[in-house]
Amino acid sequence: MLEPWRTGKVIKIENATFNTRRFWIEIQGVEVFHFKPGQFVTLDLPISEKRNKRWRSYSIASYPDGSNVIELVIVLLEGGLGSNYLFNQIIVGSELTLRGPQGVFVLPEVLDKDLFLICTGTGIAPFRSMVHYIHLHNIPYRNIYLIFGTRYLSDCLYKEELEQLATQMKGFYYLPTFSREDNTLQDIHHGYVHHLYEEIVVKEKKPAAKFYLCGWKNMIDEAKEKIVALGYDKHDIHLELYG
């Protein structure tokens, strides 16, 4: 059943990086906004007369906490009508029309295989939600590898928070990698996401695993090919495409 359109009131905004912003939205008319980690909401923005050209979907970056507040993390796209509207017109107190939750990019009911959560940019949003949810509810899991690709250290969303989680959750590995950072910097991964999951799969002798991919199309297309080449079935791969 399709969820109704609702009103969301923006109650907080923070800059996360030079071109990403965190928006906290209080859903009006409900005490609790129920959703599964990994799902998204669709905003209806006044940027076109045609309805389907007004819609922009964003993964929920927060985790279900029994409240009616959700967080979205949004990147400002050059020439992007939706993100430019949100960055330039929306302030604390603004109201947004939204529908959700939507989507089937969610955790399996039983976490009996290793999870590879592979993302670029704001594609980290659904994985942040998932990992916090697993931690807060003491859900049994095997190994979880959160592999996050971005250009520079300054682009690294939720870095301190996820590093802290990695110290609290045995078997959770937070692995950011940087494609344009100074190669002389020690103690960080350089390059793209693919070499990290390939190395782990080889080292661990191809563990039973599920792969969740979220981010830009180029990364997802390349990852699908590489994961199948590692010997996994395409049904082991779940994806959420951005852009």
- Report the share of the chain in percent with pLDDT over 70: 94
**Which of the residue ranges 111-125, 169-183, 184-198 has the most confident prediction, judged by mean pLDDT?**
111-125
Whether the per-residue pLDDT at 203 is higher than 60: the answer is yes
Q: Residue 242 has what pLDDT?
A: 73
The least confident of 1-5, 77-81, 136-140, 165-169 is: 1-5
Q: Residue 183 has what pLDDT?
A: 67
φ and ψ at 95, to 5 degrees?
-110, 145
What mean pLDDT do residues 103-118 have?
95
- Give pTM, 2 decimals: 0.94
Chain segment 133-143, per-residue pLDDT in tens: 999 999 999 99
Instruction: Kindly report the CATH number that applies to the domain delimited by 114-242.
Output: 3.40.50.80
Q: Residue 180 has what pLDDT?
A: 66
Residue positions counted in the chain: 243
Of 133, 158, 157, give the one whose Cα is nearest residue 144: 133
Instruction: Kindly report the CATH number that applies to the domain delimited by 5-102.
Output: 2.40.30.10
Question: Domain locations in the chain?
Answer: 5-102, 114-242
Joined together, the tokens standing for residue 102 give 């939507």
Rounded to the nearest integer, the mean pLDDT of the chain is 92
Of 30, 29, 25, give the one whose Cα is nearest residue 42: 25
CB 63 within 8 A of CB 133: yes
Residue 92's pLDDT band (boundaries 50, 70, 90)? very high
3-state helix, strand, coil in the chain (%, to 5): 30, 35, 40
Burial of 46 (0-12, 13-18, 19+ CB in 10 A): exposed
Q: Would you give the end-to-end CA distance of the chain in angstroms?
A: 25
